[in-house]
Amino acid sequence: MAIGKCFSTRRLITLAKWPMVRLGDVCQLTMGQSPKSETYNGDSIGLPFFQGNTDFGKECPTARVWCKAPKKVALTGDILLSVRAPIGAVNTASCKCCIGRGIAALRPKSGALDVVYLKNLLRARRDALEALGTGSTFKAVTKKQLEDFLIPLPTVTCQNLLAKRFELIARLIEMRSHQLDMFGEIAKSRFIEMFGNDPAIERAQLKEICSLITDGTHQPPKFQAKGIPFLFVGNVAGNELTYETSKYISQEDYEALIARTPIGIGDVLVSAVGSFGHPAIVKDKRPFCFQRHIAYFKPMRERVDSIFLHAALLTDESQRYMDKAAKGAAQRTITLKSFKELEIPLPSLALQREFAAFAESVDKSQVAIKREIEKLETLKKALMQEYFG
């Protein structure tokens, strides 16, 4: 029977008498534990080590650190749940991995629980999970709280049908995301074609073409419910600037902080800690401030085009330089000194602007695809609300 026919009305979903069960009764829960720091490494020795939400991706976490002596382990296919602020983010383990104290691994105990159903249910109930958090500095949930968390348990058939619907949407999103990546590769290829193999092109360090290279505030400001957005590394992780945040500062604090980082259109921000090396261009006049884990470049307009600089930072050459320059194990960091010494090709402004025009045309296509992805994400959220409340 087709999924559409099974769920052609809301009655089956919203009025079904699903029993409520404890999460601990249907899942094996493993709470993460941090291993000794001397067992960390960045050389792919041991198991991938995921410490918390900062390692999470869209569906699966990205390995940045490995561990030779893990204390707690998740298996391939386990649901990974962020249990320390922010609470409730969900990923899936794509391989056997070490988990730190910011993560819990969930594994259904029997065939009575579909893992895709559970993953989407947890995402829909994120607010309820966050509400369980306790702690003054960093809120967290305990194993007991997770075990006692109640979830609806429909029949396996109903779970499977729901899971198939969510998987279909996920596949469509994945296809569009792949298209998005391909357009990004087109821009990178064009950059290399124009500037990558010409020894006659001048090269320059960033400190020679930027009038200011610094980072965000080192003193956390006083946050408030509304006001000027305060941004974090996640706001540049997609190589473009986003303004979604739960942290805001006052106009007074903003004016004090902006004196050090006078943000303007065309300036470039780059993640410097953790998921480092992601550049984003400031494209409008919206006021904001940002944390110290983000580096700030103010390009000299008479020497370098911002779109060209953004592309230069994304080249394999620049990314390799940053990977080599990054220091630390648990939270690898690129220093401002290393950023200043990063060298890129510097062709004439005319050639830079020719590339920028090409990149902007590619960007228009990417914007159209992003809108399609947004529509699919909206549909997914609507279905979560309909099915899980």
Ramachandran angles phi, psi of 385, nearest 5° = -65, -40
Question: Position of tokens 């992601």?
Answer: 278
- How far is residue 78's CA from residue 86's CA, in Å, rounded to a whole number? 20
- CA-based R_g, the chain, Å: 23
Q: What is the chain's mean pLDDT, rounded?
A: 91
Structure tokens given for 8: 């052609």
Q: Which has the closest alpha carbon to 288: 315, 262, 308, 326?
A: 262
Q: Whole-prediction pTM value?
A: 0.65
- pLDDT tens for 364-382 read 999 999 999 999 999 998 9
Instruction: Tell me the mean pLDDT in the region 125-144.
Output: 91
Q: Is the pLDDT of residue 2 over 50?
A: no
* The pLDDT of residue 184: 87
- pLDDT tens for 83-92 read 998 899 999 9
286 pLDDT tier (thresholds 50, 70, 90): very high
